[in-house]
Structure 1
Amino acid sequence: MKVEANKVVSFHYSVSDGGGEPVDSSRERGEPLAVLIGAQNIIPGLEAAMLGREAGERFQVEVAPAEAYGERRADFVQRVPKKYFQGPEKLVPGMSTVLQTKENGPRMVVVLKVGSSVIDVDLNHPLAGKTLSFDVEITQIRDASPEEIAHRHVHGDGGHEH
């Protein structure tokens, strides 16, 4: 079975941002990541590199910013009231945190400045503007269930539970 749309693919990965050391790795968590192909659940460049591959394949791929988290935007800064953050008293400049947004759901942001009632954040993803190097090992491929296709994400092992 090959990786294609509406297949659930489980895979281990590590990713670095050009600095050599991985910035994230499924291997450290022990469980592979499971995604529904074609549902835009991973960055486009990584999904494209998986298409046509089979379980057991291991490969490396470099993904340009345009096919990952986009280019950095210097003007992508926003002042947000502290009430929208979990644990705002623990936030310091340079720290990454998740901000719940109405339009886009959870969004990774970087704290720029902490004031008495507001926090200035960089809305660029921390990996925006970077070419990412992935080491990927596809561990399993299966047909997605009709429910997974309708919900546009994986259910069960490695996926989302309802």
Structure 2
Amino acid sequence: MTTIQQGSKVTLHFTIKMKDGSVADSTHNMGKPAQLVIGDGSLSDNFEKHLIGMQANQSKAIELVAQDAFGMPNPDNVHHMDRSKFVGDAEVEVGTIMAFSGPDGAEIPGIITDIAGDSVTVDFNHPLTGQDVTFEVEILSIG
């Protein structure tokens, strides 16, 4: 029986639950499982340690504290932008999540946290940064 180890290509379903039990994200909602390679940097080392040794068709609930899940908020990820950069029909208001182009051209989400005159504060930290979460994982296959 194949078990997950360093370098394994894993196909899994996951559900991320907050402390209050609400669901923050789930591959079930997207209708397709996630794929990753253990050790490729897409998961924290601590999270990967929980997956190593699991087998296909196995499920597990993994509780992660903030720094092992999405990390702690990084003040360098908070930017002040000129309101004139926000054009078009997009509503500029606190709480709005917008997509911005990153330095590499990839889209990165940012949440508007403050508006003061012509200055708009945008937080590019992951929305779950600083949160303790539970990952419910269901391993579908291991390659």
**How much does 1:58 deviate?**
0.3
Q: Following superposition of structure 1 onto structure 2, how do residues 12-31 of structure 1 map, counting pairs within 5 Å?
A: 12-31=13-32
1:126 is paired with a residue of what secondary structure? coil
1:87, 1:9 → 2: CA distance? 41
Residue 75 and residue 41 in structure 1: after superposition, are their counterparts in 2 closer, same or farther (change >3 A)? closer
Tell me which residue corresponds to 2:37. Answer: 36
Report how many residues are paired: 142
**How much does 1:45 deviate?**
3.4
RMSD: 2.9
**How much does 1:102 deviate?**
1.9
Residue 71 and residue 33 in structure 1: after superposition, are their counterparts in 2 closer, same or farther (change >3 A)? same
Q: Following superposition of structure 1 onto structure 2, how do residues 94-113 of structure 1 map, counting pairs within 5 Å?
A: 94-102=95-103, 106-113=107-114
Identity %: 23
**How much does 1:46 deviate?**
2.7
Residue 98 and residue 52 in structure 1: after superposition, are their counterparts in 2 closer, same or farther (change >3 A)? farther
How high is the TM-score relative to the length of structure 2? Answer: 0.81
Tell me which residue corresponds to 2:4. Answer: 3
2:84, 2:100 → 1: CA distance? 11
**Contact 1:14/1:25 (CA < 8 Å) preserved in 2?**
yes
Residue 35 and residue 81 in structure 1: after superposition, are their counterparts in 2 closer, same or farther (change >3 A)? farther
Gaps of 5+ in 2: none
**How much does 1:60 deviate?**
0.2
More displaced stretch, 54-63 vs 2-11: 2-11
**Contact 2:15/2:28 (CA < 8 Å) preserved in 1?**
yes
2:56, 2:22 → 1: CA distance? 26
